[in-house]
Every structure is written in structure tokens, then in C-alpha cells.
Structure 1
Amino acid sequence: MLYDRFYSRGEFQYCTGPTQFPVYNPTTETQESVVKTCSDEDLEAAIASAMAGFEAWSCSSIEERHRVLVNLEEGLAQRATRIADSLAREIGCPVWLGALMQVPMALKGIQFAREGLFELKWTEQIGNGLVERVPVGVIAAITPWNFPLHQIVAKVAPAIAAGCSVVLKPSELAPGAAQLFMEAVHESGLPSGVVNMVWGGPELGEQLVSHPAIQQVSFTGSTAVGKKIMTAAAKQLKRTTLELGGKSAAVVLPDADLDTALPVVLRMSSVNSGQACVSQSRLLVPESLLSEVEAKLTSLVAMWPLGDPLDPATRLGPVANARQHERVTTMVEAALSQGARLLTGGPGRPEGKEKGWFCPITILSDVQPDMEIAQEEVFGPVLVILRYKSEAEAIALANGTKYGLSGAVWAGSPETATSFARNLKTGQVIINGAAQNLATPFGGWGESGVGRENGRFGIEECLSYRSLHGAH
């Protein structure tokens, strides 16, 4: 498959850049496709298109925006099977997960953006002043490979709802979902120039972020890259929305139901091969329950058969690329050398897998809070167990990293869990396995980022204020 067309002025156009990025199938390690990059001229054309698109779309009605989002949602739903197939081939996401999580999350994101249109107070009278919420302008959206469709929707749908235009740079490692998204955009009835897409690597991303026509940058990815983007944006005082890394803790309180909690904790640390910013990769348990927790978790691993992501029976596919496989392996090896105790899994490929970037579900106990694996994002199916003696110690451990994106609390009652959760320095907390609500604001504290996505909160992120004194 050759991805060689960018999207500008309402049509697909051939890329004229000099570079090509190979895309490898993580199961077979063979080349799956090729992405041809945009040239400087292609990028300029896409940005000029977005500038013209903004002039038209910023004056659109709420009803027009709603109609387009309905069409976009329908277009993506029609492509759901093809999207799930591309995710399996390009990033190793099992087809069941693509069908039950990756695509539905994106569809929900559009739904909540549609509903947010009617939840916002677009104008309000304050004394003699009429306060208006107005679109910020042209937004650069840079998205990752791990949840490619969901992250594209989380940035583009609220921008459309806000009346902004977008230049999207999706990950060159997962091009299939982005291509199918843009095909749905093309059929949605959006005016020319409102949504544009370019292909390229970090260099093109830097050009996009620093371009004077870009008023806001929305980025999801690593904290290190997020800091570089914020620095570059600061030179022109651009607004930024940064959804970055995490090292989320799942806290099991002494009265929690382990048989209910532990299967969910294991799922939240292993789903998508642990390649999720909200992955609950740290499990905090009372010292008195440690042995029981270890035994139950170890037995649960059998429920996650590892294999070809195109096989419906596979629960756990490979990690997405060779670089990620090396990182997971290296971090597990370092933890073992520092005294962590291996309960299941281990570094490298599991037995019987000589090809493919497979990492087994790895559970480590006797992990100390200052170990790298307890502090840094692994982005693999690795769960570390830390013990605590008191609630105060549990709070300190949960808050003991530079991140603050997500977390979970398990207790005998919602009241107990909620009381504990209010001590956590993180953007969201899952109480006793509650379903994640994509209408609520999502984003991090600390080095997990700034700004919020989802629902009306994502739309508000794309708006600014204008005060008209003396107007009615």
C-alpha cells in the first residue's frame, strides 16, 4: 500500500516530498506499506488552504457544524471494519479491540462533540458587555500511532464544532486510519479547506508548529516532544493543548473485592499491549494482601492469549514497532537487575515467538518507588506491584511520579473510593471500574500535559473570548 497523497483545498493531491517512510507489520516484521512525505510547498499549500477554510467556516451556523459531524460519524462507521484491519496490520492491535474500543471511542468522540455544540453558551450578556465565544483560528493537530483514529477525532471534531480549521499531521507509523478518516471527511460535506492533512516526520511537524499562520497546536505524544512543542509555540505565543505521558496508579484499598478489581486492573495495564497513555501500569496493594494479589493476578494472565492480531481469538498482539519492543525489554531487564521479582512474563519475546515484536504480559513485584520502571512510562504490557502499609503511604506512592493523567481506586464502597480519589493529583480517576466517560474533560496534571479534550470541553479548548461593550 502506498500512501502518497495529502489533503488540501478539499481534494487529495500527490505529495512531492523527497522522503518515504516504510510501515512494518509488527506481527511479521515485513513491510506493510509506504508513506511518501510532503514537501515544504505541500505544507504551505495545506496551511493556505486552512487559512481560507477558516474564513468561511468560522461564520458557519451551529446547525451546519452539527450536520457535518453527523455525516462524518456515519462515514467512519461505514469504514469500521477496514479501520480495525489497518490497526491490526500496522500497530498490532487485535481486531476485537479495534472493533470494540478503537473505533467506538472515535464515534463517541464525534457524538459528544455534536452534543457539546448545544451545551455551550456561545454568547452571554454581562452588564453592558456582550461576551462571545469565537473560534481561535487555524489549529495544527499532531496525533500518535497508538490510538490513531480516536486521537484524530479528539482534535478534529471539536475544532470543526468550534468553527476552526485544521492542518492534521497524523503518525506516519499508522497511516491507514488517517487515510480512511480523511476519506470520510471528503464525503462529509465540509467546505474546502476546513480539514487538511499532511504526511511527514518530526521535521515537518516542527515546520507546522512554528508556522506563523498557526494559532494553536494540539499534540498527543511523549512528554519530551510536548516540551519542545511548547517551547516552539511560546516564541509566537501560540496556544497549546498537550496530552502527554502517564504512569497511572491503580490503588486497591484493604476492603476492595479482589476478584472484581484484579481482572480489570490487568486489562487496563495490558489492553492495546499496554500502549495507552492511561495504562494503569502501577498497582498499589496493602502489604497484608500482597501474596493473595500476586497469586490471583498470575492466574489471570492465561485469559490473555498472545498471537496474530488478525485472529479474533487473540487478546494480546505485538507492540507496534521494533523500537518499542527494545524499550520494553530494556526496562524489564533493568528492573530485574535492580531487585524486582518476576511473577510472569519477562524480557524479550515469549517462548515460541521467533518473529514479531511480541512482549508477554509481565508482572513484577518487590518494585521500589524509585526504580525507573515505577517512575517512567513503559508503553508495553508491564504491570508493577508496589506495597503500602497505610493510606497515607498509598497516597504518597500514587502521587509519587512527575505524571498525573489517570488513575483508579478500588474499595468496598463508592464513597470510600471517592474519598480516597480526591487525594490523587491526576486529571481523572476511575472509581471501582466505572466506564470511562468520554463526555468529561480529559487531560493531565504535571508532566502529563496542559489543556483538555472531549465533549464541550474540547470545543472550549478551540475557542477564545470577544467582549463587545455597549452591544446587545
Structure 2
Amino acid sequence: MPVQKTISPVDGSVYVERTLADADAVELALDSAVVAQKEWRKTTLSEREAICRKAVEYFLNNADEIGLELTWQMGRPIRYTANEIRKGFQERANYMISIAGKALADVEVEEISGFKRFIRRDPLGVVFVVAPWNYPYLTSVNSVIPAIMAGNSVILKHAQQTPLCAERYARAFEYAGLPEGVFQYLHVSHEQVAQIIGDNRIDYVAFTGSVEGGHAVQKAINERFIVGGLELGGKDPAYVRADANLEDAVENLVDGSFFNSGQSCCGIERIYVHRNVYEQFVGAFAELTKTYTLGDPTSGETTLGPMVRTAAAEFAQKQIDEAISQGATALIDTSLFPPHQSGTPYMAPQVLVNVNHSMQIMTEETFAPVVGIMPVENDEEAIRLMNDSQYGLTASIWTADMDAALQIGEQVETGTWFMNRCDYLDPALAWTGVKKSGRGCTLSTIGYEALTRPKSFHLKINA
């Protein structure tokens, strides 16, 4: 049987090996999911809530161990990985559990004498979640917990880089007493993913990944009357106005650019700064960037770990070299970061100026610890440049003027518009993208709509 290997970016060793599921195992999982869901949908919301909250408890009880696994699987520094569970995962899971009653309640309509009418939100059936490696718990929890709360069963396929995350979910739900078959995971190939999506027993696909992967998912569902939620790439911009609190903007935008080695779909990849404060901003930004420590992510001193694989670092370096050849200036001396070395996933952060939109570094997703900074003359130029992108996941503005932020935000083509913050998902708000950043929605009460179908009840009362 084919074997899947997870190569750790920490040291290049094989950290995990898993045999891929064969056709019989896939068939059993699909059948089990269908059978289990028919019973699970009959449970009350309070029963589902108790189980899901206990699953969250498992994750919190094991956060440190899970964090260490995550560091070895994808390279994020150990000082941060447990917080993916303790902060974001817990926040999103508990919020989506807490609003399920409201989000799934019957929709009442106007009363008509002699009739009872309402709309009920029925679970779809079997939800197939395809999750990525960069934030493996934060991305998957957006769909897994609300899908189960809505009465669906779930099959999770995690990225080859982070297979242990899928197995952790299974342990958590076993600990919580979830009935067998309601949650399952499969380690499968890309070809098998396409076959599973095409199977009539799958009722919804929640995919997070690349634009290329999104096209593959879309192709797989095209022959069927189902839809998929697609959260894809990003080239997220920030605009620093002349009235911004520069110290706050620099601190948060450096973090938004380089956290997780820039491997975030909603990370900051391009910054536009009003010319009046441009030089001051750029100088402070570069100086703060130099305080990062690139190194072994299992060390508590490290603040910048390796990229997920050498090929990813090489792709980003190619964009940097191309931009420099076209006139860009690199502000960071990579010798300040001794582990930085070609042919490895260890990549120093980089800040580029004298950039423009003829350069791929300002238009194509980089997904690395690299950011380009451009001066702008006014709001209108900033809006034009922010919108000059094939992506639209998040965008941020840094200003003291709320009215200006709202007015500009109305004109920027993005799924989420931030003021004085970035790179954060508020579970009370819809998480969605426009353009090549995808379609559909997770989180918030709106996120439950994709995981259910409306069923109308039109009942005539006999006199």
C-alpha cells in the first residue's frame, strides 16, 4: 500500500509515516458516515453541545503535547504552537457551539389564520473537510465543530504535512463519547480526494488551501448538485494613513507579516504608507524585523521558524531576486540571521522597498516572511492599489479616523476589512473571501447556513 511521509522542516527527518487508506477503507468510512448521521441528526442540541465541549476539553488538556507535534510537523516555533489550541481553536469552537441554538432555530414567518408555517434548518448529511497544514487546527475547526453541531457527520482529510492533527480530532471525539462514525478521518491521496468528492454520499465539501487546489475541488464537484466552501489564497494589503499611530501600526504589521513565517492566507504581504509618514514607518518596520530570531523551532528562544519545505523558501527567494533585478531594494541583511541558507527551509525575513505592481512580489501570493512597502499620495491611490489584485481575503487600514476607515472599507474589495488590527478571525463575523480568495463562508451564524439546507413546513390546520 502507498505510504505517506511527513518530512519535518525542523531537521529534514521523516516525522510521521502513514499508510494511505485503500478503496475498502474509503468505502467503509463513507457508509459508516451515512449510517451514523441518520441517528446523530436525531440528537438534541444540548447533547451535541455536551460532546463538542468535552472534545474541546481534550484539546486543552493536551495543548502542550499537541503544540510540540505541530512544531515538528510544520515548523512553527514551540513558543507559539500550543496557543493555536488555547486561544484561536478554543475561542472559535466554543463560540460556534454557543450560537448553535440561535443559528439553527426554526425561522418563523408571518402568521396566517389556519396555518402553521416555518422554515427548519436540516443538516446536509456527510461533510467532507479538506484542511491545510499552515494553521491545521484553526482552519479545520471552522467546519468540523459547526458541522457536527448542525447534525452532520464529518470525514476529515488533513494535509500530508499534518496528519497527526486529524488523529487528534479522532481521539478528542472518542474521549467526548461521540457515537462511532459521526467523525472519521482518512489519509488519502489527491486522486482519492477527487473520487471521494465525486461520491454521492458526500453532501458538502469544506476546502481550505491553494487556488490550484480550489480549482481541483471545483472540478470534482462539477458533475454533482452540491457546493463546496472554498477558502483559498491571499495577497492581503494594509494601508497606513498619515494620522495612524505609527508605533502600534509597525508592531502589529511586522507581526502580521512574519508570524508563522508568513505562511498565512490572511498574512500581510503588501503595505501602502502615506508619503508623509513613509520614511519613519519603513525605518521602524525594518528595525523591528531585525529583532526576530530565526532558528530551531523546538527552542523557546526562536521567534521565526523554518518554512514548511525548502521548495517554498526557494519560491519566495525567486520572487525577491526578481523584484531586486527590477529595481527593488532589500532592507534586511540576511547575514543577521545565520540559519538563513539556500537549499534549506530556513529563510530570513525580508522587507522590500522601491517596489511596484509590475513585480510579482506585489501581485502574486508569496506565503513567506517577505513584505513589500510602497508610498502613496492619498486614500484614492491606496484604494486603487489595494484593489489591484486577483485576491480579496482581508485588508486593513491604520488610522485614527473611524469615518474614513468605514468610507474606504466600502470601496476595498475584500472579505474582511480591519481597522488598526490584522490577521485575526473573529468567530462572530463571517469568514469569507472574494475573487480568487474563494467563496462561501465559515464562522458566525451565517457559517451554519452552508452546513444546513432549508426545509419549509406549510401546515394547514383543519377547522
What TM-score results when the alignment is normalised by the length of structure 1?
Answer: 0.92
Task: Tell me what 1:222 maps to.
Answer: 210
Query: For the residues of structure 2 that align with 1:403 and 1:356, how far apart are their CA atoms?
Result: 29
Query: For the residues of structure 1 that align with 2:192 and 2:317, how far apart are their CA atoms?
Result: 30
Deviation at 1:59, TM superposition (A): 1.5
Deviation at 1:414, TM superposition (A): 3.1
Deviation at 1:131, TM superposition (A): 1.0
Deviation per CA, 1:96-128, whole angstroms, max 9, x where unpaired? 211234542111121011112122252133244
Alignment of 1:275-314 (within 5 A): 275-314=263-302
> Are residues 1:76 and 2:76 paired?
no
Task: Tell me what 1:4 maps to.
Answer: none
- Candidates 200, 203, 226, aligned match of 2:191: 203
Query: For the residues of structure 2 that align with 1:412 and 1:23, how far apart are their CA atoms?
Result: 46
Query: For the residues of structure 2 that align with 1:258 and 1:187, how far apart are their CA atoms?
Result: 48
> Are residues 1:132 and 2:120 paired?
yes
Query: For the residues of structure 1 that align with 2:254 and 2:460, how far apart are their CA atoms?
Result: 57
Task: Tell me what 2:33 maps to.
Answer: 50
Deviation per CA, 1:73-99, whole angstroms, max 9, x where unpaired? 101111101111011111111112112
> Are residues 1:151 and 2:151 paired?
no
- SS for the counterpart of 2:156 is strand
Deviation at 1:353, TM superposition (A): 4.5
Task: Tell me what 2:221 maps to.
Answer: 233
Query: For the residues of structure 1 that align with 2:455 and 2:208, how far apart are their CA atoms?
Result: 28
Letter matched to residue 272 of structure 2: L
> Are residues 1:65 and 2:48 paired?
yes
Query: For the residues of structure 2 that align with 1:410 and 1:337, how far apart are their CA atoms?
Result: 31
- Candidates 248, 262, 270, aligned match of 2:250: 262
Task: Tell me what 1:316 maps to.
Answer: 304
- SS for the counterpart of 1:461 is helix
Query: For the residues of structure 2 that align with 1:48 and 1:136, how far apart are their CA atoms?
Result: 15
Identical pairs, percent? 26
Query: For the residues of structure 1 that align with 2:155 and 2:364, how far apart are their CA atoms?
Result: 31
Deviation at 1:412, TM superposition (A): 2.0
Contact 1:53–1:165, Cα closer than 8 Å, also in 2: yes
- SS for the counterpart of 2:400 is coil
Task: Tell me what 2:357 maps to.
Answer: 369
Letter matched to residue 119 of structure 1: K
Aligned residues: 454
Letter matched to residue 81 of structure 2: G
Query: For the residues of structure 2 that align with 1:52 and 1:345, how far apart are their CA atoms?
Result: 59
Taking a change above 3 Å as real, the CA distance of residues 345 and 219 of structure 1, as seen in their structure-2 partners, is farther
Letter matched to residue 277 of structure 1: C
Query: For the residues of structure 2 that align with 1:158 and 1:353, how far apart are their CA atoms?
Result: 41
Q: Mean alpha-carbon deviation: is it higher for 360-369 or for 410-419?
A: 410-419
Contact 2:295–2:304, Cα closer than 8 Å, also in 1: yes
Query: For the residues of structure 2 that align with 1:122 and 1:131, how far apart are their CA atoms?
Result: 9
- SS for the counterpart of 1:437 is coil
Contact 1:430–1:436, Cα closer than 8 Å, also in 2: no
Contact 2:233–2:437, Cα closer than 8 Å, also in 1: yes
Task: Tell me what 1:443 maps to.
Answer: 432
Query: For the residues of structure 1 that align with 2:307 and 2:460, how far apart are their CA atoms?
Result: 57
Q: Mean alpha-carbon deviation: is it higher for 222-231 or for 93-102?
A: 93-102
Taking a change above 3 Å as real, the CA distance of residues 352 and 235 of structure 1, as seen in their structure-2 partners, is closer
Unmatched segments (≥5 aa) in structure 2: none
Taking a change above 3 Å as real, the CA distance of residues 352 and 188 of structure 1, as seen in their structure-2 partners, is closer
- Candidates 338, 353, 357, aligned match of 1:351: 338
- Candidates 371, 381, 386, aligned match of 1:393: 381
Query: For the residues of structure 2 that align with 1:154 and 1:119, how far apart are their CA atoms?
Result: 17
Taking a change above 3 Å as real, the CA distance of residues 356 and 90 of structure 1, as seen in their structure-2 partners, is farther
- Candidates 381, 384, 388, aligned match of 2:369: 381
> Are residues 1:453 and 2:442 paired?
yes
Letter matched to residue 35 of structure 2: A
Task: Tell me what 1:13 maps to.
Answer: none
What TM-score results when the alignment is normalised by the length of structure 2?
Answer: 0.94
Deviation per CA, 1:231-262, whole angstroms, max 9, x where unpaired? 22121021111111111101101111111101
Task: Tell me what 1:188 maps to.
Answer: 176
Taking a change above 3 Å as real, the CA distance of residues 380 and 397 of structure 1, as seen in their structure-2 partners, is same
Contact 2:84–2:137, Cα closer than 8 Å, also in 1: no
Letter matched to residue 177 of structure 1: C
Contact 2:237–2:386, Cα closer than 8 Å, also in 1: yes
- SS for the counterpart of 1:236 is coil
Q: Mean alpha-carbon deviation: is it higher for 117-126 or for 332-341?
A: 117-126
Taking a change above 3 Å as real, the CA distance of residues 313 and 418 of structure 1, as seen in their structure-2 partners, is farther
Query: For the residues of structure 1 that align with 2:2 and 2:434, how far apart are their CA atoms?
Result: 37
Taking a change above 3 Å as real, the CA distance of residues 94 and 431 of structure 1, as seen in their structure-2 partners, is same
Taking a change above 3 Å as real, the CA distance of residues 290 and 303 of structure 1, as seen in their structure-2 partners, is same
Query: For the residues of structure 1 that align with 2:393 and 2:193, how far apart are their CA atoms?
Result: 24
Task: Tell me what 1:30 maps to.
Answer: 13
Letter matched to residue 234 of structure 1: N
Q: Mean alpha-carbon deviation: is it higher for 89-98 or for 288-297?
A: 288-297
Deviation at 1:458, TM superposition (A): 2.5
Taking a change above 3 Å as real, the CA distance of residues 446 and 71 of structure 1, as seen in their structure-2 partners, is same
Query: For the residues of structure 2 that align with 1:321 and 1:349, how far apart are their CA atoms?
Result: 21
- SS for the counterpart of 2:18 is strand
Contact 1:69–1:188, Cα closer than 8 Å, also in 2: yes
Deviation at 1:130, TM superposition (A): 2.1
- Candidates 81, 86, 89, aligned match of 1:106: 89
Query: For the residues of structure 2 that align with 1:223 and 1:72, how far apart are their CA atoms?
Result: 31
Taking a change above 3 Å as real, the CA distance of residues 409 and 103 of structure 1, as seen in their structure-2 partners, is same
